[in-house]
Amino acid sequence: MAMTVIMTAATPLASSRRMPSTPAEWLAAGIILVVMVVVIAVLARWMNRRFDEQSEAGVAWQTQASAVFRARWPGDRVWQAGYAELEAEVQGCWQLVLTLESRNAERQGPTAAEGDRQINAVRAYISTLLGPLNAAAAREHRVVG
């Protein structure tokens, strides 16, 4: 019975461009509005969760890629690395810093302090790569800056 009233009231709303004039039309408009808000809220929550999963995967992937780079160029051997490899590593590390900073902005207390330590560690690693990056640029006659 109630569904019939709603569907009957919603039909004129869909077919004309006028404001609702009866209580049944207002009820139908309200229900449609509530359903739309709920659908948008569910989609927003799903997209946020999906983004969090992707950022976790991105952090894991970049950490793994960085570990492979450090295994290939350990210690002082990083000074012999090519410019393209060093540039890719630095860019990946900056992307990691941005992801960690956005994740850390929502944290408080000890978890925020741990996030700050991770960010500072990655920034320190980037600083150690700048000398070899400039040396590689000079070797390969590139202008960095």
Closest to 66 measured CA to CA, from 132, 122, 143, 128 = 122
User: In the predicted model, is pLDDT for residue 36 greater than 70?
Assistant: yes
Say if residues 126 and 94 touch (Cβ distance below 8 Å).
Answer: yes
**What does the angle CA 77 – CA 79 – CA 82 come to, to the nearest 5 degrees?**
100
Tell me phi and psi for residue 72, to 5 degrees: -75, -35
Q: Residue 17: which pLDDT band, with cuts at 50, 70 and 90?
A: confident
Between 113 and 48, name the one with better pLDDT.
Answer: 113
Tell which residue, 19, 50, 137, 26, has the closest CA to residue 87: 137
- pLDDT on residue 104: 84
pLDDT at 13 over 60: no
pLDDT in tens, 76-105: 999 999 999 999 999 999 999 998 898 888
